[in-house]
Amino acid sequence: MFGSPPDSGSRVSEIVRVTVWGENVHERTEPEVRALYPEGLHGAIAAGLSELLGDRVRVRTATLQEPEHGLTKEVIDDTDVLTWWGHIAHEEVDDAVVARVHDAVLGGMGLLVLHSGHYSKILRRLLGTTCDLRWRNEGERELVWTVEPLHPIAEGVSNPIVIEAQEMYSEPFAIPAPEALVFISSFAGGEVFRGGCTWTRGNGRIFYFSPGDQDYPVYHHQDIKRVLANGVQWAAPRLRQAPEGSPESPLGWFE
């Protein structure tokens, strides 16, 4: 008798269930951010996904201020892809919620980590590094260059994407070498940054994408919306399945 196939987990629905998580601090406390993002950064990100993907996704939002940051077991179990934006309140995120998200990623949930989310507990925990980088906030032009044109995340995206004003992020970026390096950014000041990177952890796919900041209307940019929509589709799991543990396997178990 043959061994059983590996995909005995629960198969995901055709419609990708997305939860857009937002720290939701800047937009509540800074009028100029609220002016750019009246529905919050999470609201803008969610709207972009719905606009581009329509019936192919079911999008909801969750924020830091909700009980369990809006990421209860029920919500996570009902999420195929989680997007994560945080900046000044990373330390306020409860470790138990981080552990739940981590487990879900290992079990197949996709994860998009956005911009200053590079310093989030969840990304550092998945990657094992500091995720340090250099930065400067002077509203410089950022160019986002596709270096892997065949990658599904780059499909239909202008090359380069031109973002008129942005915060600068630069190398050295303290990450493990990405499995795919999809985009490299340059800035008017001359710096470069590996701003579009993917990794796999357990059954889950992770995409980090750097463009996006509370001080600039980056999430209203059509190409940025397109990258996020592509990223959601790429990260959507084929199946969800908790890690198996380490089963003792008697001689000839597969025969």
Task: Report the alpha-carbon distance of residue 46 to residue 34 in Å, rounded.
Answer: 16
Rounded-to-integer distance, Cα 116 and Cα 6, Å: 36
Quickly tell me which residue has 């410089």 as its tokens: 140
Q: How far apart are CA 95 and CA 157, in angstroms?
A: 36
Number of residues in contact with a second copy under rule CB under 8 A: 80
| 3-class SS string, 98-124 | HHHHHHHHHCCCEEEEEHHHHHCHHHH
Nearer to a second copy, 73 or 134 (CB): 134
Q: Is 13 a binder of a second copy (CB under 8 A)?
A: no
Question: E strand or H helix at 227, and its extent?
Answer: helix 222-235
Among 60, 50, 62, which residue's Cα sits nearest to residue 21?
62
Site string for a second copy, 179-218 (x = CB under 8 A): xxx--xxx-xxxxx-x----xxxxx---------------
Q: Which of 23, 27, 213, 223 binds a second copy (CB under 8 A)?
A: 223
Which residue among 89, 160, 165, 215 contacts a second copy (CB under 8 A)? Answer: 160
Beta bridge partner(s), residue 185: 144, 193
Residue from 68, 147, 165, 217 in contact with a second copy (CB under 8 A): 147
* Binds a second copy (CB under 8 A): choice among 28, 73, 134, 220: 134
Cβ 142 vs Cβ 114: under 8 Å? no
Instruction: Tell me the closest approach of the beta carbon of residue 178 to a second copy, in angstroms.
Output: 9
Residue 56 C-beta: closest distance to a second copy, Å = 16
Residue 2 as a binder of a second copy (CB under 8 A): the answer is yes
Among 33, 126, 153, 236, binds a second copy (CB under 8 A): 126
